[in-house]
Amino acid sequence: MKLRIAGTVGDSIVDGPGLRLTIFVQGCPHHCPGCHNPHTHDFEGGRDTTVEELFAAYCENPLLRGVTLSGGEPFCQPAPLAQLAHLVHAHGGDVFCYTGYTYEQLCEKQDPAVDALLGEIDVLIDGPFLLEERDLTLRFRGSANQRMIDIPRTREAGEIVLWE
Ligand code: SF4
């Protein structure tokens, strides 16, 4: 299955715990002032790739603990990313995902593809980057409004459970 990405980083230690493959998807509708990745906003930019190619890149390095979906906005391409995340889980890895939407906004979409991707995410870092809440000391986050949500426990509890 095809998707459009800006690029990948094969050995990231800043986008979640352990060594990770970070995938920067292409296209973002949020346009947060102060965004660090403005080149990922244009839906016509970047390059095409496939789930198979990205999963092969993940499998190439046995030291990887998981993948991080970043952007760009991952929830603009939920179907291929859900497929990739499923493969990573089956391979024993974990999945972190950044989004400019809040968790509540994603649930309100009532979109089966969005729900499928949520179902394959371990930790969701949600909400737009807010320049006025920027905090360089935060772990894995850019601004204080963003939450690190434990998705499986949140779904089980029916209320937001933060990842520790
Ligand atoms: S959601 Fe992320 S990629 Fe999109 S504009 Fe905001 S900070 Fe940039």
| 164 confidence band (pLDDT: 50, 70, 90) | confident
What's the token pair of residue 101? 């939407």
CA atoms lying within 13 Å on the CB side of residue 17: 8
Mean pLDDT for 140-149 is 96
User: Which long-range contacts does 149-158 make (Cβ < 8 Å, 24+ apart)?
Assistant: 149/103, 149/123, 149/124, 149/125, 150/122, 150/123, 151/118, 151/121, 151/122, 151/123, 151/124, 152/122, 154/103, 155/118, 155/119
- Does ligand 1 have an atom closer than 6 angstroms to the CB of 42? no
- Does ligand 1 have an atom closer than 6 angstroms to the CB of 71? yes
Q: Which of 35, 36, 42, 131 to mutate to test the pocket of ligand 1 (most atoms within 8 A of CB)?
A: 35
Report pLDDT digits (tens) over 18-42.
999 999 999 999 999 999 999 999 9
Kindly list the structural domains of the chain, giving each domain's residue range(s) and its CATH number in brackets, ordered by start. Answer: 2-157 (3.20.20.70)
Determine how many CB atoms are found less than 10 A away from the CB of residue 26: 26
CA atoms lying within 13 Å on the CB side of residue 15: 25
- Does ligand 1 have an atom closer than 6 angstroms to the CB of 76? no
Report pLDDT digits (tens) over 68-101.
999 999 999 999 999 999 999 999 999 999 999 9
- Shortest-distance atom of ligand 1 to CA 40: 3
